[in-house]
């Protein structure tokens, strides 16, 4: 998918500055192309690769700026590999940084705040032309979340704030994305929680209805307890709504500070209401909490199949740096490696902490088995019959997820073939 951060950074770049965008997931980076500055986005899973790329540019004496959620969560670590670090949003920092670069006075840290000003929610998507991305348009309706789930990198990075984008801007982008050649394109609202301000969301959905688009997004469980909201979600063209149910066990919900999932009849009532309304649900679950036992995995998969979820995820808990979870596990001496994301031995699906009742490897295997069970042929058949979803879309997304399961499993972080030392910034 198109990385929206790059379009946001490009839109904030002053006129007269020439930009080239290279996506490391799709193409080789032309390290020798002349450049005055290189900007890299860093997530925890991509930090190793980001530092490798920065090292290549350091060999060529090109200054590197890093931003993104990992840079916001771990500015100290990121600063070791970058001449400059932007924490928070690019919108509040990038123009100043470019000005400083022009004067030869680049600072080590810039803080761009938790949200753009109303006029600054802009994206220059022209940098993506000629690259082969999925036909999905990523659009923001807001940023952040006010809830306080212990494991969540987003509430940590945004300090539990939420900022809504002026809705008319999002509507304009939806209109542009669903007209002309891109008609019928799927819209992905990338907000972590679309329902932070339910009344604002309802009005937005009402405005979407006549536009006849297809959209996917993520929201808190509170949407399920509001019949009007459910009706608007369906009528506005929702094709998949991701909801973090996290765990069927009340003790786990308490441990992770997610009481909202227990309110008003809890998850059971919510999924019944979602199903009755016809919302295609992507239910996500996390395992590895202190109350998790081996038979909870199968029970959760059975629950997801029985309720006819369109999709589901069964992830293990990940201690992302900076989060309250990371601090708690560190204090309890349960982290297997304090900087697992930089460990050359760490790969996708490895568990980075010691669970209470399971071994790290059991947790990994049970999660993988749950995914395999949910995307087994019998489960896919059963769910396809149980749901009123568009059958073609149903099979495409389920088969894609089934294939991706094995592709991702054990995938290393960083580029394994790059075996030089990481070069720290001066």
Note the residues at the interface with ligand SF4 (CB under 6 A).
145, 147, 149, 152, 154-155, 192-193, 220, 244
Query: Is the four-CA dihedral 329, 333, 334, 340 of positive or negative sign?
Result: positive
Q: Which residue, 145 or 267, is less far from ligand B12 as judged by CB?
A: 145
Query: What does the buried/exposed string (b/e) look like for 352-382 if buried means 16 or more CB atoms within 10 Å of the residue's CB?
Result: bbbbeebebeebbebbbebbbbbbeeebbee
Pick what 44 binds: ligand B12, ligand SF4, none; C-beta below 5 to 8 Å, kind-dependent: ligand B12
HSE at residue 156, side-chain half, CA atoms within 13 A, is 20
Would you say 115 or 232 has its CB closer to ligand B12? Answer: 115
Report d(CA 305, CA 293) in Å as an integer: 20
Which of ligand SF4, ligand B12, none does residue 222 bind to, with CB < 5 to 8 Å depending on kind?
Answer: none
Q: List phi, psi (to 5°) of 339.
A: -125, 60
The listed partner (ligand B12, ligand SF4, none) that binds 300, CB under 5 to 8 Å by sort, is: none
Cβ distance to ligand SF4 smaller for residue 90 or 154: 154
Q: Which of 40, 170 has the CB closer to ligand B12?
A: 40
- From ligand B12, ligand SF4, none, which one binds at residue 94 (CB under 5 to 8 Å depending on kind)? ligand B12
The entry of ligand B12, ligand SF4, none that residue 149 binds, CB within 5 to 8 Å by partner kind? ligand SF4
Binding site for ligand B12 (CB under 6 A): 1-5, 8-9, 39-41, 43-46, 65, 67-70, 73, 86, 89-91, 94, 138, 140, 152-154, 190, 192, 315, 320
Greatest CA separation for the chain: 64
Judge whether 274 and 233 are in contact, CB under 8 Å: no
Select 269 or 409, whichever has its Cβ closest to ligand B12: 409
By beta-carbon proximity to ligand SF4, the closer residue of 57 and 314 is 314
Q: How far is the CB of 190 from ligand B12 (least distance, A)?
A: 4
- Provide the minimum distance between the beta carbon of 188 and ligand B12 in the complex, in angstroms, as a whole number: 7
Q: Are 179 and 227 in contact (CB under 8 A)?
A: no
Confirm if 325 and 288 have CB atoms less than 8 A apart. no
Spatial distance between the Cα atoms of 158 and 61, rounded to a whole number of angstroms: 33
Burial call 325-335: b when 16+ CB within 10 Å, e when fewer: bbebbeeeeeb
């Amino acid at each position: 998918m198109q990385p929206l951060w790059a379009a946001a950074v490009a839109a904030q770049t002053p006129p007269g500055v020439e930009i080239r965008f290279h996506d490391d997931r799709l193409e080789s980076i032309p390290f020798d192309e002349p450049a005055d500055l290189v900007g890299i986005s860093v997530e925890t899973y991509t930090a190793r690769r980001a530092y490798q790329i920065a090292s290549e540019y350091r060999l060529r004496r090109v200054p590197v700026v890093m931003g993104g959620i990992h840079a916001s969560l771990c500015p100290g670590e990121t600063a070791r590999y970058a001449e400059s670090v932007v924490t928070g949003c690019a919108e509040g920092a990038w123009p100043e940084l470019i000005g400083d670069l022009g004067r030869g006075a680049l600072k080590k840290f810039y803080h761009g705040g938790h949200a753009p000003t109303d006029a600054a929610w802009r994206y220059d998507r022209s940098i993506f032309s000629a690259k082969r991305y999925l036909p999905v348009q990523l659009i923001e309706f807001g940023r952040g979340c006010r809830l306080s789930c212990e494991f969540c990198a987003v509430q940590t990075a945004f300090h539990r704030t939420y900022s809504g984008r002026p809705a008319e801007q999002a509507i304009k982008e939806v209109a542009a994305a669903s007209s002309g050649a891109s008609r019928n394109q799927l819209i992905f609202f990338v907000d972590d929680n679309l329902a932070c301000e339910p009344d604002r969301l309802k009005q937005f959905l009402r405005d979407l209805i006549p536009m006849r688009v297809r959209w996917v997004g993520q929201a808190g469980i509170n949407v399920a307890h509001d019949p009007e909201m459910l009706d608007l979600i369906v009528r506005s063209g929702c094709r998949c709504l991701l909801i973090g149910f996290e765990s069927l066990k009340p003790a786990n919900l308490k441990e992770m500070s997610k009481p909202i999932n227990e309110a008003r009849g809890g998850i059971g009532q919510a999924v019944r209401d979602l199903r009755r309304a016809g919302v295609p649900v992507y239910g996500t679950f996390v395992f590895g909490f202190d109350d998790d036992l081996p038979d909870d995995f199968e029970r959760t998969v059975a629950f997801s199949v029985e309720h006819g979820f369109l999709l589901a995820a069964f992830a293990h808990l990940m201690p992302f740096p900076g989060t309250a979870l990371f601090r708690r596990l560190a204090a309890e001496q349960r982290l297997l490696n304090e900087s697992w994301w930089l460990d050359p031995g760490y790969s996708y699906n490895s568990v980075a902490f010691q669970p209470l009742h399971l071994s790290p490897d059991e947790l990994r295997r049970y999660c993988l088995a749950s995914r395999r069970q949910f995307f087994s042929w019998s489960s896919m058949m059963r769910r396809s019959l149980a749901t009123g979803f568009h059958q073609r879309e149903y099979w495409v997304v389920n088969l894609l997820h089934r294939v991706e399961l094995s592709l991702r499993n054990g995938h290393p972080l960083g580029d394994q073939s790059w075996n030089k030392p990481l070069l720290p910034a001066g």
